[in-house]
Amino acid sequence: MREQLTTRCTHIEEAYEFMLAYAAQGLATDAGSGAGTQVRHFLGRLDLALGGLGDVFRAVVAAEQPAGGEHYAAYIEVLDRDARSSQAAVRLVLAQPGISSQLVDNLNASIHLRALLTDVFLVDEILKSTQPAKA
């Protein structure tokens, strides 16, 4: 489960980095460009990474039982809520017939996505600092 959580965090971070670059291109639509095809790919992968993100972190905590584990439950609820809010915004963008750079810029600016990114950065650092001992 730890590997799955790490992979999801990586996909979220990569999608955001791509979206920053896409937003800077000034494209009116995603149709007819390589970047346009890629934006749907990255948004789709982001959507998948967000689904059940809190549950995956919860499973890691349950399996590894880290010190201070009792403090994780409340934070996982925050992560889960932010992931669901961000996923709703991502799905709304994906439902559009054309995804402009401006639309992606507005998604990037969404407080929901920004909160999620901060959550993911924190989770990522926790995972790095609590690496289980290798056998």
Asked whether the beta carbons of 47 and 11 are under 8 A apart, the reply is no
pLDDT of residue 115: 96
pLDDT of the chain, 135 residues: tens digit per residue: 889 999 999 999 999 999 999 999 998 998 877 878 899 999 999 999 999 999 999 999 999 888 888 889 999 999 999 999 999 999 999 999 999 999 999 999 999 999 999 999 998 888 888 876 565
CB atoms within 10 A of CB 80: 19
CB 8 within 8 A of CB 49: yes
- Domain ranges across the chain: 2-129
Q: What is the pLDDT of residues 8-21, one digit of tens each?
A: 999 999 999 999 99
SS (H, E, C) the chain: CHHHHHHHHHHHHHHHHHHHHHHCCCCCCCCCCHHHHHHHHHHHHHHHHHCCHHHHHHHHHHHHCCCCHHHHHHHHHHHHHHHHHHHHHHHHHHCCCCCCHHHHHHHHHCHHHHHHHHHHHHHHHHHHHCCCCCC
